[in-house]
Structure 1
Amino acid sequence: MKKNDWIHNIQQGNKEAFRAFYEAYADYAIRTASAITRNREMAKDAVQETFIRVYRQIGSYNPELPFDPWFYRILTNECLRLLKKESPLSKYEHPDLENEASLAVESFDHLSDLYDTIQALDDGHRIPLILKYVKGFTEKEIADILGLNHNTVKSRLFKGRKRLKEQLDLIDKEERSQ
């Protein structure tokens, strides 16, 4: 079933269509929410609440607009809402990396460094990077999702990439000096 068919059927109250939609989107949503919240359990809560909101608000969705930015805007807002409620200690929890056992040790170390470095960025730079390079959204879609000016998104992506490169260069220097 195509996405537009799911949406139309969900708008008509078809629960099987919603179940199929959930099964198709849940894993992607949890990975995105984990990257935003830095906490797998919080991510699961955000995704659950997101699907509830999507179900309740699907009637307000305009099918002439792309669906993914609408969906991920709800998901991102839910993640940010939960982050505002979190305790200061939970910032240091990291979600489990999926399939880490299947990665070679050397590539895992580089992936782990990259992941840790991305997670260490502030939300203003980390979230646009995730939406751009993990989820593949355009800068305009990211601006819509986050409710920001397009130029602000471009600036945050530029600065986020710059900070990421600086941190990865430091890690490389440390590894070479050992």
Structure 2
Amino acid sequence: MTKDIIREIKSGNKEAFEDLYNKYADYALRVAFAVTRSNANAADAVQETFIRINSNIDTFKDENPFDPWFYKILINECRRVLKINSIKNSSMDIMANDLYLSVNRTPKFEEYEDLYFAIEKLDEINRIPIILKYLKGFSEKDISHILSLNINTVKSRLYKGRLKLKNFLKVFDEGWSDYEG
């Protein structure tokens, strides 16, 4: 289905791009929020991702899977936005994010709240591969392509990320403020 949409976009069908946006926007926003930890930064990254997709769709090779290409652009945009906005979140931003999470929480999120909180605590180097592998379902090979890393580096980051998550979850009941990671 996605390949059909891409063919339509390449042929000049403007409505097909809207279909592509509708198919990917929500998931992209969730991934971008998990990477950037900010609603505003996530929205900026997703917007820029779709702009780049639209202007570079002709370079996409139809025989390749679309998802890794899309998420590579999204992750790069998240990184670019984070670099531009490298100033730490103010306490107002943190409160806004906490409010967003509490208002937009779904039952599934509540079931896994500790895990999502632990993932959010990971450093970017481990958080992004964990998100791509376990929340988006990409293979290590796809992740290595998306992040432009050696597959063994991806495996190492996933392993270390899982260990950190395990440690985070062990100490969760004792309180996060004492944990150094």
TM-score (normalizing by structure 2) = 0.86
Q: Secondary structure at the match of 1:89?
A: coil
Higher RCO by CA contacts (8 Å cutoff, separation 6 or greater): 1
Q: Which amino acid aligns with 2:85?
A: E
Structure 2 counterpart of 1:118: 119
What does the per-residue CA deviation read over 1:124-175, in whole Å, with 9 as the maximum and x for residues that have no partner?
0000000001111000000000000000000000000000100110113559
Alpha-carbon RMSD across the aligned residues, in angstroms, is 2.1
Matches within 5 A, 1:24-39: 24-39=23-38
Name the counterpart of 2:150: 149
Q: CA deviation at 1:18?
A: 0.5
Asked if 1:18 is matched to 2:17, the reply is yes
Partners of 1:70 and 1:87 in 2: CA distance = 25
- Give matches, 1:69-108, under 5 Å: 69-90=68-89, 93=94, 94=97, 96-97=100-101, 99-100=104-105, 103=107, 108=110
Stretches of structure 1 that go unaligned for 5 or more consecutive residues are none
Cα–Cα, structure 1 residues 64 and 80, in superposed 2: closer, same or farther, change >3 Å?
A: same
CA contact (8 A) 1:119 1:126 kept: yes
Q: How far 1:87 sits from its partner (Å)? A: 3.8
User: What whole-Å deviation, never above 9, does each CA across 1:16-57 have from its counterpart, x for those lacking one?
Assistant: 100111111111110111111111111111111100100000
CA distance in 2, matches of 1:63, 1:159: 35
Determine the structure 2 residue equivalent to 1:52.
51
Aligned identity (percent) is: 51
Rounded Cα–Cα distance in structure 2 between residues aligned with 1:91 and 1:130: 25
Give, in angstroms, the shift of residue 111 of structure 1: 3.0
Q: Is the alpha carbon distance of 1:172 and 1:135 closer, same or farther for their aligned partners in structure 2, counting shifts above 3 Å?
A: same
Cα contact 1:33–1:47 (8 A) shared by 2 = yes
Instruction: Give, as a single letter, the amino acid of the residue that structure 2 aligns with 1:156.
Output: R
Deviation, 1:99, is 4.3
In 2, Cα distance between equivalents of 1:146 and 1:62: 19
Q: Distance in 2 between matches of 1:152 and 1:43?
A: 26
Cα deviation per residue 1:75-129 (whole Å; 9 max; x = unaligned)?
Answer: 00000000111143228734733742x539xx83x63322222111110000000
TM-score computed with the length of structure 1 as normaliser: 0.88
Give structure 2 stretches of 5+ with no counterpart: 177-181
Aligned partner of residue 136 in structure 1, secondary structure: coil
Distance (whole Å) between structure 1 residues aligned to residue 131 and residue 172 of structure 2: 21
Number of corresponding residues:
170
Please say if residues 38 and 91 of structure 1, whose CA atoms lie closer than 8 Å, have aligned partners that are also in contact: no
